[in-house]
Amino acid sequence: MSKMCLAIPGRLIKNLDGNKGIVDLGGVSKEISLAFIPNAIEGDWIIIHTGFGLEIMSEKDAFEMINILQEAYK
């Protein structure tokens, strides 16, 4: 079941040209757009929704959120 309006944290592992990047989502790599957070740099934790980075967040907050989601949707 996809959760349409949920956003999930991932880690930016590579900046690509044209405001794009590769994120690591718990072992799965995915290309996303950084159009809304052009200042994101490699290593940043990002909240991601439908292929777009929405905001940069702290590592602590990202871990917290990952746990919440795993718990709620397992």
Partner 1 sequence: MDLQKYRQPDLINHVIDDIKKHTASVKFMEVCGTHTMAIGKWGIRKLLPKKIKLISGPGCPVCVTPSSVIDELSKLKKVTIATFGDLLRVPGSSGTLEKARALGLRVEVVYSPMEALELAKQVETIFVGIGFETTIPGIAHTIKIAKQQNVSNFSVLPACKLVPPALEALIAGEETKIDGFLLPGHVSVIIGSAAYNFIPQKYGIGGVVTGFEPLDIIVGIKKLLENLDQPQIINEYERVVTKDGNKNAQAVMFEVFAVQDALWRGLGWIPNSGLSIREEYAQFDALKKYGLRITDIPENPQCRCGDVLQGKIIPPSCTLFDKVCNPQNPVGPCMVSSEGSCAAYYKYER
Please say whether the beta carbons of 12 and 43 come within 8 A: yes
Q: Return the one option of partner 1, ligand SF4, none that residue 17 interacts with (CB less than 5 to 8 A, by type).
A: none
Q: Which of residues 9-38 bind partner 1 (CB under 8 A)?
A: 33, 35-38
Could you say which of 10, 28, 57, 74 contacts partner 1 (CB under 8 A)?
Answer: 57
Identity of the residue, 3 or 30, whose beta carbon is nearer to ligand SF4 in the bound complex = 3
Complete DSSP assignment for 28-62: EEEEEE-TT-TT--TT-EEEEETTEEEEEE-HHHH
Could you tell me if 34 and 5 are in contact, meaning their C-beta atoms sit under 8 angstroms apart? no
List interacting residues with partner 1 (CB under 8 A). Answer: 1-7, 33, 35-38, 47, 49-52, 54-55, 57-58, 60-61, 63-65, 67-68, 71-72
